[in-house]
Amino acid sequence: MRHSQEQQPAADPAYAALEPVLHRHGHQAHGLIEVLNSAQQHYGHLSEPLLRHIARRLHLPFSRVQGTASFYHLFRFSPAATHSCLVCTGTACHVLGAARLLAELQQAPLAELGVELGTVRCIGTCSGAPLVEVDGEVWNHQSGASVLQRLRELQR
C-alpha cells in the first residue's frame, strides 16, 4: 500500500538527513535496507529512537525494523569505539600475567569508555611485559587496574 504525503507521520527534524532516502523509496518497506544504511552513515549507529523513527516513516512495525537491522552484521547499535586496547598475549607477556590482565579488562565496563578490547601476539618489546597497546601506543608493565585508570584518564 502506498501512503500519500498527507498520511506521512511528521518528520522528526533530528533525523532530517534521512528524508531524501525515505522520499526516494516513497516511504515504502522495500527501501528499508537502504534507509538503515543511510541512517548508519549519517548518525554513526542505529539507536532505538532512530529505529523507531524509521519504522514510523516506513509504516512498519518496530519489531520488523529492529529484526532486519539485527540480522545484518554491518549494522551497529551503539557508537563505535573510539579507543583500541590490545593486550599482548605473547610468551613473555603471558609468563608475566597477560592472561590475568586480559581477564580483568574483560570484566571492566570498557564499552562505556568507548574502548574496544582485543589481543595481539608479541609486538617485539618484551622487556615491557606485560603490556598493552592503546591506540598504537605501548603501555609497559601494566595491570588491569593501571590500564583501567589510564583509559579513564583518556576520557578527560
For ligand FES, the binding residues (CB under 6 A) are 88, 90-93, 122-123, 125-126, 129, 131
Nearest alpha carbon to residue 109 among 40, 155, 156: 155
Cell output for 151: 583509559
Cell output for 56: 514510523
Determine the residue with CB nearest ligand FES: 90
Q: Is residue 88 within 8 Å of residue 122, measured between CB atoms?
A: yes
68 vs 119, beta carbon nearer ligand FES: 119
81 vs 92, beta carbon nearer ligand FES: 92
12: left (phi over 0), alpha (psi -120 to 50) or beta: beta
Give me the least distance between CB of 91 and ligand FES, in Å please. 5
103 vs 111, beta carbon nearer ligand FES: 103
Give me the least distance between CB of 153 and ligand FES, in Å please. 23
Give me the least distance between CB of 114 and ligand FES, in Å please. 25
69 vs 101, beta carbon nearer ligand FES: 101
Q: Is residue 93 within 8 Å of residue 141, measured between CB atoms?
A: no
DSSP 62: H
Give me the least distance between CB of 72 and ligand FES, in Å please. 36
- Single-letter amino acid code for the residue at 48: E
